[in-house]
Amino acid sequence: MPHDLSAHPVPIWQPEEPPALPNEDIFGNTKKLHFIADALKRHTRELGRPPSILDFGCGNATAVGQYVADGSRPYLGVDFHEPSLEHARALCQKGQAQFMREMPHGRTFDAIIYADLLEHVHNPTELLKAHVSQLAGDGIVVASVPNGYGPCEIEKWFIRNLRLYDIARGSYRLGKRLMGKRVRREGPVVPYNSASGHVVFFTRDMLVKMAEDAGLVIRRFGHGGFVGADLTGSTIFSPQPFLDWNVNVSDKLPSWAVSTWYFEMVKAGGPLDGKY
């Protein structure tokens, strides 16, 4: 059942002029980058200097890290998957970018990024609590999570249980061979930690409760894409006009009806609480 979102009103995010980023995809990754870039730009103005950034769960840095670690500010990516870290180090070679397997002790950050990470953690509230101790008093937390009961997760359920993606890919390759056409080889394999799946399925109310329990408040909230996962993104919904429509129409929909949520949090009672 849809949740009553009016109980937790927060300002709706309105993007500023975005940086140069890749074309949109079915997951709304470029829109997510706009949200992160906008939050960091606003926070730079609030601090009067570039913020130091922790990108926790940075993975291989292709989706977010390479755009955030642009050399203009201190950046630390943390991830326990060593093959992904090796790829991230090769991709982000600018002066202020670092990558580690564990959180450094005694280091404070102005901004923490969780890009599609919290849904992979069994107890995201405890993770937030641990990291808030290393967040500056006037720091921000920027995150994205899938709507646990939105269109993307529903599609993934059908893909996983009915093996639809495997069937579609096998049919495509068989058709190519029957027509005497070579199946195009895929490009270089980018390491990805596919073993860590989703273990938490968020509702909007769960996000609010998680923030409160960690001593944070949500000060901005945004929608990602309307629909889309691997199957639709590689078949009928792959044309670019649809991908652009997908992220634009979501802004007109209620939160329970979209696939992904973006949000920015600050310390409750801190200097940024109540400031937008």
Longest dimension (CA), the chain: 66
Question: Which tokens go with 115?
Answer: 């890009």
Low-confidence ranges of the chain (pLDDT < 70): 1-19, 163-188, 192, 194-195, 233-235
What integer pLDDT is reported at residue 132 of this predicted model? Answer: 96
Break the chain into its structural domains and give their ranges.
7-267
What's the token pair of residue 274? Answer: 């109540």
Predicted pLDDT of residue 8: 55
Q: Is the dihedral of CA 51, 10, 243, 3 positive or negative?
A: positive
Residue listed under structure tokens 């509230």: 125
Query: In 10 A of CB 217, how many CB atoms?
Result: 19
Burial of residue 218 (number of CB atoms within 10 Å: 0-12, 13-18, 19+)? buried
pLDDT score, position 79? 96
| Secondary structure class of 60 (helix, strand, coil) | coil
pTM above 0.85, yes or no: no
pLDDT of residue 253: 96
178-212, pLDDT tens digit by residue?
A: 666 665 555 557 776 766 788 999 999 999 999 99
Q: H or E stretch including 32?
A: helix 29-47
Kindly state the helix (H) or strand (E) to which residue 220 belongs, with its residue range.
Answer: strand 216-223
- 270 in Cβ contact with 224 (< 8 Å): no
Q: In terms of CATH architecture, what is 7-267? A: 3-Layer(aba) Sandwich (3.40)
